[in-house]
A and B are shown apart, each in its own frame.
Chain A
Amino acid sequence: EDQVTQSPEALRLQEGESSSLNCSYTVSGLRGLFWYRQDPGKGPEFLFTLYSAGEEKEKERLKATLTKKESFLHITAPKPEDSATYLCAVCGANSKLTFGKGITLSVRP
C-alpha cells in the first residue's frame, strides 16, 4: 500500500524566513510525485510533478526536489500570500493517487 507522510503538520514563518516542507513516501513503482497548493475553501491547485530521483523544479519562490524516499518543497523568502496548505501525493504502479494529510503554512508579515 502506497503511503505519504508530510511534516511538520503546521509551520509558521516570518516573512522572508526560508524553510522546507517534507514529504516522505513509500510506493510501489513511482510514476510521479505531485505537489499541490490548497487555499481555504478552495480545491487543490497543481504546482509540480517530479518523476525521478534527483529531479528539481522551480516556480517563483518555490523549489521542489525528489529523492528515492522523500521530496522537499523549499520556500525562499516567503510572503504572506504563500500562506496555504501544501499537499503532496504519489502515483504508483496502479496509477492511483495517494495524498498526504498536508502541511499548513502561515507566513506572518
Chain B
Amino acid sequence: EAQVTQNPRYLITVTGKKLTVTCSQNMNHEYMSWYRQDPGLGLRQIYYSMNVEVTDKGDVPEGYKVSRKEKRNFPLILESPSPNQTSLYFCASSRNGAGGREEQFFGPGTRLTVL
C-alpha cells in the first residue's frame, strides 16, 4: 500500500530534550516536506526537500532541523524543544521535485506536546 508513515504518532516531552520524528514514504517520491498545524493558523511549512541531500527552509524553520540522506526518509529533528513547538506535525511527499505544483500525500500526523 502506498503510504507515508510517521513515528511516533504521539509524544510528550520536556523542554530541552532532543527528539526526532521519523517520516518514511514507499512511493519513490522525490519531494518531501514537513508541516505543522496549529488552531487558527492552518498548515505551515517547516522544511522541504526536492531530492536526496537537497533541503530548504519553509515558512517556520526556526528550532527545527532536517536531513535527507535517503530518498524514502525525511526525519524532523528538534534539538532543544520548547513549549511553543507543541503542535500537530505532518510529513508529506509528492512524485517529483516540482514541490507544491503536484498533489501531496500526507502522513497520519504526530501530536507533540512539550512541557
Which A residues lie within 8 Å of B48 (CB)? 96
Chain A CB within 8 A of B7 CB: no
Chain A CB within 8 A of B99 CB: yes
* Interface majority SS (helix, strand, loop, mixed), chain B: mixed
Number of A-B contacts (CB under 8 A): 58
Could you tell me the distance in whole angstroms from the C-beta of A3 to the nearest C-beta in chain B?
Answer: 11
Which A residues lie within 8 Å of B40 (CB)? 101
Please pick, from A46, A92, A102, the residue contacting B104 in the complex, using a CB distance under 8 A.
A46
* Known pairs A43-B90, A44-B90, A46-B105; A100 contacts B42 (CB<8 A): yes
How many residues of B are in contact with the other chain, CB < 8 A?
25
Could you tell me the distance in whole angstroms from the C-beta of B46 to the nearest C-beta in chain A?
Answer: 12
Which A residues lie within 8 Å of B42 (CB)? 87, 99-102
Q: Determine whether the beta carbon of B90 is less than 8 Å from that of A32.
A: no
